[in-house]
A and B are shown apart, each in its own frame.
Chain A
Amino acid sequence: DVKVTQSSRYLVKRTGEKVFLECVQDMDHENMFWYRQDPGLGLRLIYFSYDVKMKEKGDIPEGYSVSREKKERFSLILESASTNQTSMYLCASSLGSQGSNQPQHFGDGTRLSIL
């Protein structure tokens, strides 16, 4: 079974802090994704990566950055946290080359609160 592990289930941070969310997958997947999920807005893609050290902007990249130094690990960084970044953050991975139509497999999410 595919295992996508997010480092924290719940996280509380303060406005202006730099926040790191970590994601690790154990299936040697090429592609990794970061989403946020908000009531009424559904899942929205923040950033994705189809290879080590490669990154692409999704639909809502403002205020975020990412890092992929190793194939199995994809980090989401909130440069200066703001209250409107309070959300559920979901990491996913999928097999195949760039643009693969293989299913994405998700972690259990990090519920982030910015005070």
Chain B
Amino acid sequence: EDQVTQSPEALRLQEGESSSLNCSYTVSGLRGLFWYRQDPGKGPEFLFTLYSAGEEKEKERLKATLTKKESFLHITAPKPEDSATYLCAVQAVGGSSNTGKLIFGQGTTLQVKP
């Protein structure tokens, strides 16, 4: 069964303290892995798409990387405004590839204190 697991569930950082969020996936084949940011009371905001192992994407203080089994979202020198829930989603080869269906992880809630 296709599955996406994110860790940790919650992460508290001091401003400037770099860290990484993990997204592990078990799928028959990967068509795409997506990272989103979600603020309280709002919809997920698209950040990155990764399609193949070894691929990396960067945006400001965020960098996403992908291996055959997991993805990391690295946050360098975070600021309080980076506080949010970060969601990982996977589109798998097979049944879901005919639908565009995404399998979402439960998310990591990040709090960055000044």
The smallest beta-carbon distance between B80 and chain A, in angstroms, is: 22
Give the distance in Å from the alpha carbon of A109 to the alpha carbon of B42 in the complex.
Answer: 6
Give the distance in Å from the alpha carbon of A103 to the alpha carbon of B106 in the complex.
Answer: 18
Q: Does B8 contact A (CB under 8 A)?
A: no
The answer to whether A48 touches B43 (Cβ under 8 A) is: no
A:58-94 near B, CB below 8 Å:
58, 90, 92, 94
The answer to whether A106 touches B45 (Cβ under 8 A) is: yes
The answer to whether A103 touches B99 (Cβ under 8 A) is: no
**A99-114 interface bits toward B, Cβ cutoff 8 Å, 1 = contact, 0 = none:** 1111111111101000
Query: Which of B32, B51, B99 touches A56 (beta carbons < 8 Å)?
Result: B99
Chain A residues, Cβ within 8 Å of B49: 101-103
Q: Does A50 contact B (CB under 8 A)?
A: yes
The smallest beta-carbon distance between B61 and chain A, in angstroms, is: 20
Give the distance in Å from the alpha carbon of A58 to the alpha carbon of B104 in the complex.
Answer: 14
The answer to whether B51 touches A106 (Cβ under 8 A) is: no
Give the distance in Å from the alpha carbon of A83 to the alpha carbon of B45 in the complex.
Answer: 28
Interface residues on A, range: 20 to 34
- CB contact under 8 A between A42 and B104, given known A103-B46, A103-B49: yes
**B81-102 interface bits toward A, Cβ cutoff 8 Å, 1 = contact, 0 = none:** 0000001010100000111111
The answer to whether A107 touches B43 (Cβ under 8 A) is: yes
Nearest CB in chain A to that of B96: its residue:
A99
The answer to whether A101 touches B43 (Cβ under 8 A) is: no
The answer to whether A90 touches B99 (Cβ under 8 A) is: no
The smallest beta-carbon distance between A38 and chain B, in angstroms, is: 11
Chain B residues, Cβ within 8 Å of A40: 106
Chain A residues in contact with chain B, CB under 8 A? Answer: 4, 31, 33, 40, 42-43, 45, 48, 50, 56, 58, 90, 92, 94, 96, 98-109, 111
Task: Show 14 A/B contacts (Cβ-Cβ < 8 Å), sorted by A.
Answer: A4-B43, A42-B106, A43-B44, A43-B89, A48-B101, A50-B99, A99-B97, A99-B100, A101-B31, A103-B34, A104-B34, A104-B102, A106-B43, A109-B41
